Amino acid sequence: MKYVYPAIFRKEEDDTFFISFPDIGYGGTCGNDMADAIAMAEDFLGNAMVKIEDEKLEIPNVSTQQELLNSTEYEKGDIITFIQTDTVLHRKLMSTTLIKKTLVIPSNLNEKAVKLGINFSQLMQKALKEELQMID
């Protein structure tokens, strides 16, 4: 299911951002800069909406920007923007379902790795996360 909710971005003294979703609750998240803050907000909203769906809670109403501007949540200098999430896609991205893959490597690498007790699965996951620039 797709959802769009307003988020309030508040710049902190150290130039990081605190992001809250007044309609959702559950606290908030933060980011080192605006790009990071948006990514964190998308992830936060996805996690929150998955939790709401899974617990069969009532889907919160969406406030308008004007309603937030007039609320106690908003402070002068805050940035209000709308963040979108798709819980179907979010569930797929966050899935930890294991998938078996076949790997072919030279025998000398295999022998050395086995002698050192290297876990091939963990090493492959770590390498893929680094290559895909995924935060662990």
What are 78-92's pLDDT values in tens digits?
999 999 999 999 998
> CA geometry: angle at 67 spanning 15 and 77, to 5°?
20
**Does the global pTM surpass 0.75?**
no
Question: Pick the residue with more confidence: 31 or 121?
Answer: 31
Q: Check: CATH 3.40.50.10740 for 2-94? A: no
> Which part of the chain is CATH 3.30.160.250?
2-94
Least confident of 12-16, 40-44, 50-54, 90-94: 90-94
Find, among 15, 23, 19, 20, the residue nearest to 37 by Cα: 19
Query: Which residues, in sequence order, are bridge partners of residue 84?
Result: 4
